[in-house]
Amino acid sequence: MHLKKHRFHDAFLLLASTLAVVSTSNGNNARPLITGVVERLDARLDEIVSHDAVLEKLATGYRWAEGPVWITQSSGAGYLLFTDIPNNAVFKWKDGEAVQLYLKPSGYTGKDARGGLMGANGLTVDAAGRLVLCQHGDRRIVRQEPDGRWSTLADRYEGKRLNSPNDAVFKSNGDMYFTDPTYGFPKGLSDPAREMDYCGVFRLSAADGKLTLLTKELTLPNGIAFSPDEKTLYVAQSDPKQAVWYAFPVKSDGTLGPKHLLADGTHWTAQPRRNPDGLKVDRHGNVFATGPGGVNIISPEGVLLGRIHTEKTAANCAFGGDGSMLYITATDCLYRIQTKTRGAGF
């Protein structure tokens, strides 16, 4: 995908659909604030996001909101969980109710005070519906059991502690794939507590519990998701020097083939809202990738179809409800927008 700066500017002026502010939201069941811009760069976006779709601000007041995941209840209803990493907490949003603190601590259980991104980052659920947390501070991935206890799924590779697991996704066979950059360290890449000299993408086998390093080519791997047929694994690289999204072919044994470039957003990183972050995929294979500008909607062929511009830096997103509602965490806010598609798996 080759996009020039003037194309971004012209498309913003000519094709964007500006949405009006109608009310305020404080996260306590007030009417949502409708705000934002949907930027249309390709006619195919009309089949994904309608022209009358609005971006709603549901809640605000967090330090760095991340890791949204939809929890489906047995009644057919559901709710959204999302993390506030610096506050070491997970919050629960449910339509018609006030936002509630769901879990604290979420990612750092040490006794020594520390700052930085210490809480849980990415959240997901396994086939049994159990919550799985990527814990920055404790440098591990855990599963929350029905009684509330945590079971450690991964914390070391070849005897060395992981950096700070960031995002994870499950394959239909139960294997878990995850990224392990250094964002949980107070000093990042130069932190003396690091035990590995690379940032990896890993696979935890459901069959035997073996942890496999799939690649250490990426400088700062971040968001991760499968294509609907699970033949491709998408991984965001949140490196301002090479801000890109990669596509890896998934081999029959679950390992990865050589990567190829899906999209390059490096020249967008001069914008205030920069760097690829969390991502999700819809049932048609379109990638909803947070990063420069907000949520970038990219076709499986690597064509940028458009963007959902958020006021704040977009960090991650997740489909919820019946699968057609897209929830977005961005700096201190939680947003949602109705789509015409559904997330993969819904």
Interval 32-65: pLDDT, tens: 767 668 999 999 999 999 999 999 999 999 999 9
* Residue-by-residue DSSP string for 34-92: E--EEEE-SGGGGGTS-TT--EEEEEE--SSEEEEEEEE-TTS-EEEEEEETTTTEEEE
Q: Has residue 343 been placed in a domain?
A: no
Q: Has residue 346 been placed in a domain?
A: no
Low-confidence ranges of the chain (pLDDT < 70): 1-31, 33, 35-36, 269-273
Can you give the pLDDT at residue 8? 35
The number of CA neighbours under 13 Å toward the Cβ of 247 is 20
* Interior angle at CA 169, CA 32 and CA 325, nearest 5: 25
Q: Has residue 135 been placed in a domain?
A: yes
Say whether pTM exceeds 0.85: yes
Q: How many domains does the chain have?
A: 1
Please tell me the distance from the alpha carbon of residue 49 to that of residue 60, in angstroms, as a whole number. Answer: 24
State both tokens at 50.
């309608």
Q: Has residue 344 been placed in a domain?
A: no
Q: Has residue 56 been placed in a domain?
A: yes
Q: Has residue 240 been placed in a domain?
A: yes
* Residue-by-residue DSSP string for 137-170: TTTEEEEE-TTS-EEEEE-EETTEEPS----EEE
Can you give the pLDDT at residue 31? 60
State both tokens at 302.
């690597």
What Cα–Cα distance (Å) separates residue 156 from each residue in 38, 152, 195, 212? 42, 10, 10, 11
Q: Has residue 345 been placed in a domain?
A: no
Tens of pLDDT, residue by residue over 159-186, are: 999 999 999 999 999 999 999 999 999 9
Can you give the pLDDT at residue 220? 97
* Interior angle at CA 266, CA 264 and CA 270, nearest 5: 145
* Torsion 265-288-341-18 (CA) sign: negative
Nearest to 169 by CA among 177, 181, 180: 177
Give the bridge partners for 177, in sequence order.
169, 203
Can you give the pLDDT at residue 155? 98
Q: Has residue 196 been placed in a domain?
A: yes
Query: Which domain does 216 fall in, by range?
Result: 5-338
Please tell me the distance from the alpha carbon of residue 235 to that of residue 243, in angstroms, as a whole number. Answer: 11
Q: Please report, for the domain that includes residue 82, its CATH number.
A: 2.120.10.30
Contacts of residue 281, defined as CB under 8 A and 6 or more positions apart, other chains included, come to 225, 226, 227, 228, 234, 287, 288, 343, 344
Can you give the pLDDT at residue 114? 86
What Cα–Cα distance (Å) separates residue 227 from each residue in 87, 207, 286? 32, 22, 8
